[in-house]
Structure 1
Amino acid sequence: MCTLTAPKPPAVDAACLIADIEAYLADQAPKTAHPLVTKTTAQLIAEALAPAADAPEAAPELTAPSRLWRIIPDWALALPPARRLHGAGRPVTVTQHLELTALVLQQYGWHRGGLRSRSGARCILGAQAVLYRLGYGDEETALAAGRAMQNVLRRRGIEQAYHAWNDRPGRTQGEALQLIREAIQTYNG
């Protein structure tokens, strides 16, 4: 006898998401910080983040189980290392913000009908909030990315706000990701 069970949602935690975002941003960065600098950006970052020889050992990082990261309130996302390391926020371009928004939807899952589901899936606006809370980009970058998505919808003859468009019955994750990809392709900031 065969029984069908619902697939388990993928386990995603903030540390994994931050690692994916950092890998993406490292790939986007120029190979050196300045033409006169012989070390790569990655080497300079590693040196800056390395503990000083005479500094005491840092306390171990406290991590929550991956399921917990999916269900804790979004304001708590400001607690992981990205926000602490980069202060008020790490600058990202509008295109990078859009690409990272798609990454969040792919990692956490897509949702309609609210910023997030109980399982941690996000709508487009919720994914943008995750990036902001984690310290990637600022409010103006998120707003410009929203305008880019809105421009795509207008070209399609849709006047509805992109976040309301996301929540329409029948909308799919594929359509949401396509909107983001089209905004990336047509953004001219």
Structure 2
Amino acid sequence: MKILKLVIIAIAAIVVFGVLAVAGLVAFMGYVGTDTLSSRATDSQMLAPDGTVAGKALVVYNPGLSGNPETAAKLIAGDLRDKGYEVCLAGINSTAAADVSSYNVIVVGGPIYGGVVSSSVQSYLTTMVPPEGAVIGAFAIGNNYSEQPFPTEAGLKTSAVISQNRDMDSQCAGFTAKLLD
């Protein structure tokens, strides 16, 4: 009887350990995979202002899993266009996002994962070589974040964490106003 109880306890422990190991692996892969899968944005589009061109702006985004960062990027791009900028709205892995050399204003944004902006946005911000005098801003969408979710070496003029639970239009307009101030 004692041996049977010990065997049952051992089997139960192995099953519990196996379930925990699989759950941990799934959670880890979900965390890593969300940024890898969501950063496959390869589209780009140009937005022309109605009047005189004030400059050229590049708005680069990682859409995240929810698509909210892409929505914010479109709002920011629209605000820049309304202020006279010729805007290139580009997914973070698009050909258009790779060349920042001709822009006066560069905005980069994406989701927050694990308290910081996604690794694809961090990498983009820290490896791009903007033209001298370019104004750089970054935004992130999320609710759980550290005090500074962006890499400090990115040389940002302004940054914002935009809540998906509040009026995104006004938050993006406020970000654009600060960026161009």
TM-score w.r.t. length of structure 1: 0.29
More helix by share: 1
More strand by share: 2
Max radius of gyration: which structure?
2
